[in-house]
Amino acid sequence: MKILAAVVIPPHLSASGAVNAAVNLSQALKRHCEIDLAVMADQTSQHFVGDLRVMKRKSTSPIDFTTGWLPNKYRTLFYRSDIASMVGNYDLVHLHNAIPALEMRRIAQACLKQGIPYVLTTHGFVEILGMQSAYQLNWLHAWLGRMFMMRPLRFVIEHAQRICCLAPQDQALLADLGVPYEDMVVIPNGVSKNFYPEPDEQAMASVCEKFNLPIGKLGSTPVCFFLANHTRNKGLDILLDAFLGSEQPYLLIVGGKKRDYDYEGYQTRVRSGQRIVFTDALTDAEIRGLHHYADLFVFPSRADTLPLVVLEAMAAGRAVLSTRVGGIPFQIDDTCGRLVEPENSSALRQAFEELVAQPQQLAAMGQAALTKVKAQFDWDRSADLTYAVYRETLGLPAAPIRAAVSSAKAARRERSGHV
């Protein structure tokens, strides 16, 4: 069995949770089958992550000439690569992420033309299917979204052999599009075990020095951490509005590559005892260190499928304050954090102030988060289920782990009334 995992993503967002998830799942699958990973990138190159071959494929947009005067979000729609030409060398293609959707459809069409089956993972589906609320689109952007995102995504969904949903919430979303439940299976992300142990003192000191953070805690001042691309759907504006409206002392660390925000303006508006640090892009080691440095992870996303960064915070033993969107309620419950409605900076502020007012309860939530992520979100388990899907799709005899998929199907039929 030879598998191509294809990550469809604009080159400037190649450092993302979707890419990390595809790499981690593919690495875990190496013990079952032969698998390569291809990802859209700025330049063509090849490297190995452990024993997984990662093939970066140069991607260009036909409107690259607009660089410098047209916002990048327009070029994002039209990025393409040569991944579609590679599918004939494999028995099955596994598509990860959904933007640019035109490239995703191009790869799917190549599979159909050559008789190569493909399966999907629902990275980015919530963001596209709920893009109007996530991105507050005007009429032009809404039209572009329907033409160049929704339509191609629907085509890819319609012709997929199986869809691997990251959370049960994805199943209801796809059922509304007419996808039969028997074509779906829930296979959540796992989390890298590197996030479990706390970094040593030298590593933590290095992180603190780089970002001018105090070594050790600031007495009773809570430390909060946010990490995401600074795009509207991640809710950075909601985060900043919530914290700037609070009278509670805090240190807020905002991770993620900087974009077009007035970062200095936000920093000058804080009250006495408050501080906001914008880190820009972070390495994996720095992300791990900041998760362990913080008391609370705050993630007010407007649209997300199953954010890997939430699982990483949980693996570091941190409570999570987030929003009730996509698959996040599958990750976070009242024992390990707090969920509020999206687009509500007042509710986020109130929840933040209530959580940090009870540090012992906050620490207990963090331990509950650690227990939950260890029990439910594991890459090896996800790889077992995914491999069973591959075998079923290719018509191969069921492996022993097939029972897990059969059990999941039975549970779905019972919930939907089709017993």
> Could you report the per-residue pLDDT of 353-392, keeping only the tens digit for each?
999 999 999 999 999 999 999 999 999 999 999 999 999 9
Are 247 and 161 in the same domain?
no
Are 153 and 297 in the same domain?
no
Q: Is the pLDDT of residue 135 over 80?
A: no
Report the percent of the chain where pLDDT is more than 70.
90
The structure tokens 């709920």 sit at 130
Are 111 and 238 in the same domain?
no
321 against 128, higher pLDDT: 321
Start-to-end CA distance of the chain, whole Å, equals: 33
Are 286 and 322 in the same domain?
yes
Q: Rounded mean pLDDT of 219-248? A: 93
216 against 86, higher pLDDT: 86
Q: Is the pLDDT of residue 415 over 60?
A: no
Are 249 and 228 in the same domain?
yes
Closest CA to 391 of 121, 32, 90: 32
The per-residue pLDDT for 183 is 93
Q: 17-26, 213-222, 381-390: which has the highest mean pLDDT?
A: 381-390
For residue 224, what are the contacts with CB-CB under 8 A and spacing of at least 6? 243, 250, 251, 252, 253, 294, 295, 296, 297, 298, 352
Entry pTM? 0.83
For residue 135, what are the contacts with CB-CB under 8 A and spacing of at least 6? 141, 145, 232, 233, 302
Phi, psi (deg, nearest 5) at residue 130: -115, 30
Are 204 and 216 in the same domain?
yes
Quote the CA–CA distance of 229 and 251 in Å, as a whole number: 20
Q: Rounded mean pLDDT of 307-314? A: 95
Q: Residue 76: which pLDDT band, with cuts at 50, 70 and 90?
A: confident
Q: Is the pLDDT of residue 96 over 90?
A: yes
Ramachandran category for residue 417: left, alpha or beta (phi over 0 → left; psi -120 to 50 → alpha): left
358, 364, 368, 369: CA torsion to nearest 10: 60
What token pair was written down for 118?
Answer: 């493909």
Are 353 and 409 in the same domain?
no
Quote the CA–CA distance of 114 and 88 in Å, as a whole number: 7
Q: Residue 132: which pLDDT band, with cuts at 50, 70 and 90?
A: very low
**Residue-range definition of the domain harbouring residue 220:** 193-376
Are 97 and 25 in the same domain?
yes
CATH number for the domain that contains residue 270: 3.40.50.2000
Distances in whole angstroms, Cα of residue 349 to Cα of each of 232, 236, 238, 244:
19, 13, 10, 9
Are 141 and 176 in the same domain?
yes
In the chain, how many domains are there? 2
3-state class (DSSP) for residue 158: helix
3-state class (DSSP) for residue 304: coil
Are 66 and 202 in the same domain?
no
User: Is 74 exposed, middle or buried (CB count within 10 Å of its CB: 0-12, 13-18, 19+)?
Assistant: middle
The per-residue pLDDT for 63 is 81
* Spatial contact of 85 and 59, defined as CB atoms under 8 Å apart: no
Average pLDDT over the chain, rounded to an integer: 89
Quote the CA–CA distance of 83 and 57 in Å, as a whole number: 7
Are 258 and 297 in the same domain?
yes
77 against 59, higher pLDDT: 59
Q: Is the pLDDT of residue 419 over 70?
A: no
The per-residue pLDDT for 412 is 46
Are 200 and 171 in the same domain?
no
